[in-house]
């Protein structure tokens, strides 16, 4: 539902008992989410550019399993209060700056399996091991103070199969501890949300791939068209697939023939 609908208008327009997912987009009117308690089947909620929402506490006793709080990249999306009360959450997407207490603001006893932090994240990324069932994690903009403790914590997530990350700005160091290995990750996705020079993505590949020896699928989202050196993929003994999004293999460094290569956009023939 896009636009400045009121809570009363949404209650009147939607089938209360049948609505399982709800997208509320570009809505400056809705502030109090209490009305969502009238949707007993609601499991999936997306709030995109809803600046008046300051708290999700009204959903504390709801069966909500997926929550996304997002907005335009140029806007500062505020972290709502009450996240720690959403005990049934399995998937959480936030484009919000974490407070100094970090992940402690999230529901400690929720069965989280997917966590996506779209904004800049650094030293405040602490306590991820509270959710040992996490299988999917996305950290789109690593900051300068995302350090060895943060990387080391990922090694404890034994069920982590998908890991995605990118840099917040040019020159951010990857402070991977020497010898650190996260072998449980099978799909690794490296992002360029900040639209940095592709030389930065090449640097990340060389530094990061040794830490992920179990990767079978590598995804590179370049965001800007250009070439990248894929020779570091030789460090992945189990690699089977490579997906390239707006990035191209640097000439002279072809992938081995047994590796499936998918490119978007597809090259012209």
- The CATH number of residue 190's host domain is 3.80.10
Split at pLDDT 50, 70, 90, the class of 100 is: confident
Quick one: what percent of the chain has pLDDT higher than 90? 78
pLDDT on residue 269: 62
Q: Do 91 and 151 fall into the same domain? A: no
Q: Give me the domain span that covers residue 53.
A: 1-112
Question: Rounded to whole angstroms, what are the CA distances from 212 to 34, 129, 171, 178?
Answer: 44, 19, 21, 13
Whether 64 has a pLDDT exceeding 80, the answer reads yes
The whole-angstrom separation of Cα 170 and Cα 175 is 15
pLDDT band at 76 (very low <50, low <70, confident <90, very high): confident
Closest CA to 93 of 23, 16, 40, 187: 23
pLDDT at 144: 94
Q: What is the pLDDT of residue 237?
A: 94
137 and 61, same structural domain? no
Out of 112, 135, 150, pick the residue that ends a domain. Answer: 112
Residue 66 has phi, psi (to 5 degrees) of -130, 130
One domain, residues 80 and 21: yes
pTM (global) more than 0.85: yes
pLDDT > 70? residue 26 = yes
Mean pLDDT within 220-226: 89
Distance between CA atoms of 201 and 175, rounded to whole angstroms? 15
Last residue of one domain, picked from the residues 61, 94, 112: 112
Both 44 and 153 in one domain: the answer is no
Let me know whether 91 and 126 are in one domain: no
Answer yes or no: do 87 and 150 share one domain. Answer: no
- Name which of 137, 138, 125, 113 is nearest 193 in CA terms: 138
Q: How many CB atoms lie within 10 A of CB 229?
A: 17
Q: Of the residues 50, 84, 112, which one is the last residue of a structural domain?
A: 112
State the total domains in the chain: 2
């Amino acid at each position: 539902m896009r636009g400045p609908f009121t809570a009363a208008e949404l209650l009147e327009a939607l089938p209360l008992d049948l609505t399982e997912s709800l997208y509320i987009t570009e809505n400056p009117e809705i502030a109090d989410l209490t009305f969502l308690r009238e949707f007993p089947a609601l499991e999936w909620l997306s709030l995109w550019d809803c600046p008046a929402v300051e708290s999700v506490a009204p959903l504390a006793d709801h069966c909500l399993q997926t929550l996304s709080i997002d907005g335009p990249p140029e806007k500062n999306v505020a972290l709502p209060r009450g996240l720690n009360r959403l005990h049934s959450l399995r998937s959480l997407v936030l484009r919000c700056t974490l407070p100094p207490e970090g992940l402690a603001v999230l529901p400690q006893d929720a069965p989280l399996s997917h966590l996506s932090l779209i904004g800049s994240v650094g030293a405040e990324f602490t306590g991820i091991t509270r959710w040992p069932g996490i299988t999917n994690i996305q950290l789109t903009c690593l900051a300068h103070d995302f350090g060895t403790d943060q990387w080391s914590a990922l090694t404890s997530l034994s069920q982590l199969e998908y890991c995605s990350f990118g840099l917040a700005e040019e020159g951010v160091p990857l402070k991977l501890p020497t010898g650190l290995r996260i072998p449980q990750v099978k799909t690794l996705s490296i992002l360029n949300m900040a639209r940095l020079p592709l030389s930065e993505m090449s640097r990340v590949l060389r530094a990061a791939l040794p830490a992920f020896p179990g990767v079978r699928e590598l995804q590179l989202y370049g965001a800007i068209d250009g070439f990248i050196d894929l020779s570091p993929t030789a460090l992945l003994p189990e690699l089977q697939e490579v997906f390239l999004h707006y990035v191209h293999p640097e000439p002279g460094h072809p992938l081995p023939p047994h590796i499936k290569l998918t490119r978007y956009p597809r090259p012209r023939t």
